[in-house]
């Protein structure tokens, strides 16, 4: 089963998005911030897709993506940002770090599920 890592400091989002993806046949692992996300990614090599918030304590989502590429040397995992931010400058920074896509909250599960399944396959 495909594994998705959800990184968000809001347990409401982790529960809501995680619950939806689990119901739709995806295996979900959660992390509470960017730092936790990096360690979960290290500990779970089977993760194919990371769905991450931007604004989080300890380490923000974009810094986490940059570290996934630079420190973990992981260039294969797909990362999608799920955030309230829609600032093009942040999107550009994400693109440069290898982010595959951007979703402005709130999350609408049905419309993006198929893409998730493809990216995490």
Evaluate whether 68 touches 86 at the Cβ level (below 8 Å). no
Q: Which is nearer to another protein, 34 or 94 (CB)?
A: 94
Q: Which is nearer to another protein, 43 or 89 (CB)?
A: 89
- The nearest distance, CB 109 to another protein, in angstroms, is 9
User: Whole-angstrom Cα distance, residue 116 to residue 60?
Assistant: 22
Integer Rg of the chain from CA: 13
User: Whole-angstrom Cα distance, residue 65 to residue 30?
Assistant: 16
- The nearest distance, CB 85 to another protein, in angstroms, is 6
SS3 at position 44: coil
- The nearest distance, CB 41 to another protein, in angstroms, is 20
What is the contact surface with another protein in residues (CB under 8 A)? 10-13, 15-16, 19, 55, 80, 83-89, 91, 94-95, 99-108, 111-112, 115
């Amino acid at each position: 089963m495909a594994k998705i890592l959800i990184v968000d400091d809001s347990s409401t989002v982790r529960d809501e998005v995680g619950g939806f993806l689990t119901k739709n046949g995806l295996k979900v692992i959660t992390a509470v911030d960017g730092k936790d996300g990096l360690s979960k990614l290290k500990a779970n090599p089977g993760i194919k897709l990371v769905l991450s918030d931007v604004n989080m304590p300890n380490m923000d989502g974009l810094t986490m993506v940059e570290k996934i590429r630079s420190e973990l040397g992981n260039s294969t995992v797909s990362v999608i940002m799920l955030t309230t931010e829609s600032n093009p400058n942040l999107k550009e920074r994400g693109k440069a770090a290898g982010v595959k896509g951007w979703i402005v909250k709130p999350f609408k599960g049905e419309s993006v599920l198929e893409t998730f399944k493809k990216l995490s396959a």
